[in-house]
Amino acid sequence: MPQEPRTPADPEVYLRRGRTLDLVLSFREPSGRLDGWLDFVREAVRNGGPQLASVQICEEPNARLPVLDGSIPNVLHALVQGVIAAMQEARDQGHEVAVGFNAVPTFDPADTFWSELGDLADFRFRQSLDYVGLDFFPDVFRPVPADRLAEAVTAVLTGFRRTDLARVGIPDTVAMRICENGWPTGPDRPEQRQATTLDTVVRTVAGLSAELNIDAYSFFSLRDADSAADGLFHHFGLLRDDYSPKPAFETYRRLIDELGNPPTGA
């Protein structure tokens, strides 16, 4: 595998106050060759040890964009074999690590990602999966009226579970996770609307969590990359780049307090 800088260079600095790491292993071999890939996966799990909470194999393997793994030849084989290798290494080392992969919503009926993955997936792959993550950004790349947002989120989440994962034979016992969700601010994108959008999306996800077995949610992202720059991708933060909070920061804190630790039934 080609050597690329680790990001961040020293993730261990975040291991404070009982924190653990969620690790993403990207498949970036331009030729699609798997030489060294499985060794890389096993080494990452072995080195992470008990500090790892989860290992995600590949980054958005169904998104065919140059910066994402879906643009790399042979990514489906890398995904299937990588999941199996990661889980086997975790078991061999005696570590409790959640192993999974992520994807983006599929809106093109001609897209063959899930059917092709279903052809490759076998019993070992399904048995090695703890979760499948979804990266989705409603009302960012496709406008959604505010009064239809909850309906749109429900449709995407339900379709992901009942249609996409079903094509691979991934059972409901394998958890869904929202790995990335966000709404950028900027011109014609008011900060207050970021807060109301976040509130709607998180409450909808929480309301569907039992039905669809959703066990985690992550917001993208904590801080703007560059609050003065043009372009959506610089402005996803709950904080501006000087660390001053946008209204959505307090909204997220309230949602965590309210929904982050739901009471258990008797």
Cα–Cα nearest to 101, from 254, 120, 150, 263: 120
CA distance 60 to 69: 6
C-alpha to C-alpha distance for 51 and 96, rounded to whole angstroms: 10
Is the confidence at residue 265, as pLDDT, over 50?
A: no
Cβ(252)–Cβ(215) under 8 Å? no
Mean pLDDT rounded to a whole number for the chain: 94
The arithmetic mean of pLDDT across residues 209-235, rounded, is 96
pLDDT at 1: 47
For residue 34, what pLDDT is reported? Answer: 95
Q: What is the mean pLDDT of residues 4-16?
A: 71
Instruction: State the CB neighbour count (10 A cutoff) for residue 107.
Output: 9
| Weakest-pLDDT range from 2-16, 50-64, 161-175, 207-221 | 2-16
pLDDT by residue (tens digit) across 17-50? 888 999 999 999 999 999 999 999 999 999 998 9
- What are the residue ranges of CATH 3.20.20.80 in the chain? 134-260
Q: Kindly report the CA angle at 22 between 161 and 216, in degrees rounded to 5? A: 35
Would you list the DSSP string of 26-76?
Answer: ----TT---TTHHHHHHHHHHHHGGGEEEEEESS-TT--STTSGGGSTTHH
Q: What is the pLDDT of residue 8?
A: 67
Which whole number is the average pLDDT over 154-163?
Answer: 98
pLDDT at position 262 is 58
Provide the CATH number for the domain formed by 134-260 in this structure.
3.20.20.80
pLDDT of residue 11: 74
Predicted pLDDT at 18: 83
The Cα–Cα gap between 15 and 233 comes to 27
Which pairing describes strands 52-57 and 98-103: parallel, antiparallel, or unpaired?
parallel
Pairing of strands 52-57, 175-181: unpaired
109's tokens:
């009926």
pLDDT at 52: 95
pLDDT value at 116 more than 90: yes
Q: Is the pTM of this model over 0.85?
A: yes
pLDDT of residue 14: 79
* Collapsed DSSP state (helix, strand, coil) of residue 114: helix
In tens, the pLDDT along 65-111 reads: 999 999 999 999 999 999 999 999 999 999 999 999 999 999 998 99
